[in-house]
Amino acid sequence: MTQRPSQSRTRLVMGNWKMNGSLLANAALLQALVAGASRARGAQLAVCAPFPYLPQLQELLAGSLISWGAQDVSVHEQGAYTGEVSGSMLRDFACTWVLCGHSERRAMHGESSSLVAAKTSAALALGLAPVVCVGETLADRDAGRVEQVIAEQLEPILGLGAAALNKLVLAYEPVWAIGTGRTASPEQAQAVHGFIRSALTRSEAGQTRILYGGSVKAANAAALFSQPDIDGALVGGASLVADEFLNIAAA
């Protein structure tokens, strides 16, 4: 069921810095974002940074129009899990958001869809808002398996139930469009966003935000945002350049 963006779905433009940044570079970027945040014209702005920079985000973004979060979370609360970071630790730095199941974590760290759902559930239990990422590879697309792959990735998330779905955000990021400069066309993206929305129940469908990610830049943002089921963007490379990120938000 394709729906027009409604007032209940505020547009969200979120930067995923991935493993980029330094204290010095972040300070300049964050100050420019705070100074320009009003250009977002009602869209929500957010930044997901590497763990060590969360205190810096808290310091520089508190009280601004920009919320922040992390790029991953452990399913565990605490204990002997070397290298893991728990949701309560993210809460200590006032994170609102956490990315769950980004394709780079699925591909490079072997995260299964059931683990992604467990992380989503752990994040929700601590009051974090998960941004759950799904997306097909080029091989999946060429084989005509887009909907099958997305449905498989979504299944354990849908199983978390309506209370969970009303709090999380979904992100469609076709793997072949990430960091490649090759964006899905607005029509290609809308087709999958519509498919994802049709997998939600009626009340969830009206409310759940579905972001698009994959080589989003100022030049293509407006066309993507004009699609009825695209509620914002998850931005990688372009989120490292303040002006470009703000121009996307203004689109």
Would you please indicate which residues are annotated as catalytic (active-site) residues?
102, 173
173 lies in the site for ligand 13P, by CB under 6 A: yes
- Under rule CB under 6 A, which residues in 45-104 are in contact with ligand 13P? 102
CA-CA distance, 106 to 101, in Å (whole number)? Answer: 6
Binding segment for ligand 13P among 5-13, 120-128, 148-156, 209-217 (CB under 6 A)?
209-217
In the list 216, 224, 248, 249, the residue contacting ligand 13P (rule: CB under 6 A) is 216
Residue 205 or residue 240: which is nearer to ligand 13P going by CB?
A: 240
Dihedral over alpha carbons 212, 236, 182, 173 (to 10 degrees): -30
Tokens 């964050």, residue located: 30
Backbone angles phi, psi at 135, to 5 degrees: 170, 150
Nearest distance from C-beta of residue 232 to ligand 13P, angstroms: 12
Tokens 């990315």, residue located: 99
Residue 169 in tokens = 């955000």
Number of alpha carbons in the 13 Å side-chain half-sphere of residue 110: 0
In the list 215, 220, 227, 247, the residue contacting ligand 13P (rule: CB under 6 A) is 215
In the list 16, 86, 208, 220, the residue contacting ligand 13P (rule: CB under 6 A) is 16
DSSP 8-class letter at 179:
S
Residues in touch with ligand 13P (CB under 6 A): 16, 102, 173, 178-179, 213-216, 234-238
